[in-house]
Chains A and B, each alone.
Chain A
């Protein structure tokens, strides 16, 4: 019998923590298409690697079922990959760097773009909540104008337990949608 595969997409602005999120939960080393950020540039002070096509993680559920996690590239010039990655997704997570208001507008734009790709459930993860300058999740909800019925979850992408909560909440949303 063929193995059934399902996928979730992890999206969000540049340097919002998508790769870290997948790395925290994936059972395999994340298959990244990262490229080294040029030394001496400002990007190098933000992060030393950036995703140019996608990140790929896997969670084996049982002998018959595998969950794939796809992370989208953060830079707009690779947004042609988004629709390809969105095809057939079970749902998606929008990562927001809670410490960088300059990325909030982009996060909202990405959220709306993915909603337009597919009518699947999604959650918003307010990442980097462990940092001092992080905006509280409920303030982010207002700043990003996210409806009250959308789950906005505090997150620390390098913390596996927090990542589990985000994925579980997305799955609960999918179940709720099935029940409706």
Chain B
């Protein structure tokens, strides 16, 4: 079976942070296209079979964000020019006069060629260009966190035009920052309804927390310092003197960035329950019964 080359959905079903989490964890390469949602006049039935909402079809493209091996490398809004001169102007690296001259004299110059020209002319440094492109890319992605219903298509393998300057950015920090900016309590309550779960570090935490790789706030480090696989989120909140929503926001950010994992309570011992699973009548079937089921289903 051929693997699909696209992931389709709407930001109503998968928030931007969830998409970035998926791209980060799966180390995906491709481009996320986000479109204006145009109502079709029909309705979509949600998974509960009852709730409905207007069906949206894809309209004009509003934004595109590119990724390489799970890192953010490029973003643009349809409503904004992403010409390098404009990016540098927005970052304050070029003044109005310089910006206008470049746009008039080299409106079609590729970003890479223009970058070389500007560096050689001592208008800007290489670091200026990298920082400006990075800032521009991040501003767009952070803005996407406020989009809540647009249809999207993730095209696996698609990359930005070759003349564009791409700056790889780790998504962990982007996700954390997006969550910092996103104070919607409802989403946090939905994502972390139970504060009685403990937290643990994923495998190879040293790699994830390597110096300089993640930039945590003081409060985030305080929470991290209490993670031992046994302390519950509620206990950590108490120790750090944080509100429930405050700890939810921090833990959700750490979870979304893959820096910590929830330790769910182990399922109760079936033998201690009033009824035992497995048999309509009551007793748990023995191994030979399961073996019989396996052999029968194989033979169907």
Chain A interface (Cβ within 8 Å of chain B)? 4-7, 13-16, 25, 42-43, 45-46, 50, 59-62, 65, 67-68, 73-77, 87-91, 100-107, 110, 115, 118-120, 129-130, 132-136, 138-139, 142-143, 154, 160, 164, 167-168, 171-172, 174-175, 178
Please, which residues of chain A bring their CB within 8 A of the CB of B289? 4, 6, 65
- Cβ-based interface call for B161 (8 A): no
Q: Are A6 and B47 in contact, with the CB atoms below 8 A? A: no
Q: Which chain B residues numbered 1 to 44 have a C-beta less than 8 Å away from chain A? A: 1, 3-4, 6-10, 12-14, 18, 21-22, 25-26, 42-44
A143-B277 contact in complex given A4-B285, A77-B50, A171-B297, C-beta closer than 8 Å: no
Cβ-defined partner of A104 (8 Å) among B47, B48, B291, B294: B47
Interface contact A119-B293, CB-CB below 8 Å: no
Judging by beta carbons under 8 Å apart, are B44 and A102 in contact?
yes
Contacts A139-B26, A171-B297: A5 and B280 contacting too (C-beta < 8 A)?
yes
Q: Point out the residue from B48, B279, B290 that lies within 8 Å of A174, measured CB to CB.
A: B290
Beyond the given pairs A4-B289, A107-B47, 11 more chain A to chain B contacts, judged by CB atoms under 8 angstroms and listed by A's residue number, are A14-B46, A42-B45, A88-B278, A88-B280, A104-B13, A118-B277, A133-B6, A136-B4, A138-B26, A171-B297, A172-B294
Which B273-298 residues sit within 8 Å CB-CB of chain A?
Answer: 273, 275-282, 285, 287, 289-294, 296-298
B287 interface neighbour in A45, A74, A175, Cβ under 8 Å: A175
**Contact flag A43-B290 (CB < 8 Å), given A6-B285, A61-B296, A133-B8:** no
Structural contact, A90 and B48, CB atoms closer than 8 A? no
**Distance (Å) between the CB of B283 and the closest chain A CB?**
9
Are A164 and B297 touching (Cβ within 8 A)?
A: yes
A-B contact pairs, 5 of them (CB 8 A): A67-B293, A67-B296, A88-B275, A89-B278, A171-B294
B292, A62: Cβ atoms closer than 8 Å = yes
Which residues of A are found within 8 Å of B278, using beta-carbon distances? 6, 88-90, 120
Contact between A130 and B1 (Cβ–Cβ < 8 Å)?
yes
Indicate if the CB atoms of A142 and B267 lie closer than 8 Å: no
Chain B residues with CB under 8 Å of A15's CB are 45, 49
Task: Indicate if B270 sits at the interface (CB-CB under 8 A).
Answer: yes
Given A42-B43, A134-B4, A139-B26: A101 in contact with B9 (beta carbons within 8 A): yes
Min CB distance B229 to A, Å, is 15
- Residue from B12, B49, B297 whose CB has the most chain A CB atoms within 10 Å: B49
Task: Decide: A142 near B293, CB < 8 A? Known: A90-B277, A132-B4.
Answer: no
Nearest B-chain residue to A79, judged by Cβ = B48
Contacts of A13 in B (CB 8 A): 46-49
A135:B280 contact, CB within 8 angstroms: no
CA distance A88 to B9 in the complex (A): 37
Contacts of B52 in A (CB 8 A): 42
CB proximity of A144 to chain B, nearest CB, Å: 10
Cα–Cα, bound, A103→B142 (Å): 26
Residues of B within 8 A of A60 (CB): 296
* Cα distance, A135 to B287, chains bound together (Å): 36
Does B206 sit within 8 A of A, measured CB to CB?
no
What is the minimal beta-carbon distance from A18 to any residue of chain B, in angstroms?
A: 11
- Asked whether A5 and B8 contact (CB < 8 A) given A42-B52, A105-B47, A168-B294, the answer is no
> Considering the complex of A and B, which 4 residue pairs feature the smallest CB-CB distances, nearest first?
A106-B47, A14-B49, A13-B47, A103-B47
Contact A76 B50 (CB under 8 A): yes
The answer to whether B277 touches A175, judged by C-beta atoms less than 8 angstroms apart, is no
Q: Nearest-CB distance from A79 to chain B (Å)?
A: 9
Distance (whole angstroms) from the CB of B296 to the closest CB of chain A:
5
- Partner of A74 from the list B3, B13, B49, B273 (CB cut-off 8 Å) is B49
Interface residues of B in 256-276 (CB under 8 A from A): 267-270, 273, 275-276
Instruction: Determine the residue in chain B with the shortest Cβ distance to A133.
Output: B8
Q: In the assembly, what is the distance between CA of A119 and CA of B239, in Å?
A: 32
Residues A142 and B22 in contact in the complex (CB < 8 Å), given A105-B13, A164-B298: yes
Residues of the B chain whose Cβ atoms lie less than 8 Å from the Cβ of A178: 287, 290
Query: Which chain A residues border B22 with CB–CB below 8 Å?
Result: 139, 142-143
Cβ of B121 within 8 Å of any chain A Cβ, yes or no, is no
Q: Which of B50, B267, B268, B280 contacts A68 (CB 8 A)?
A: B280
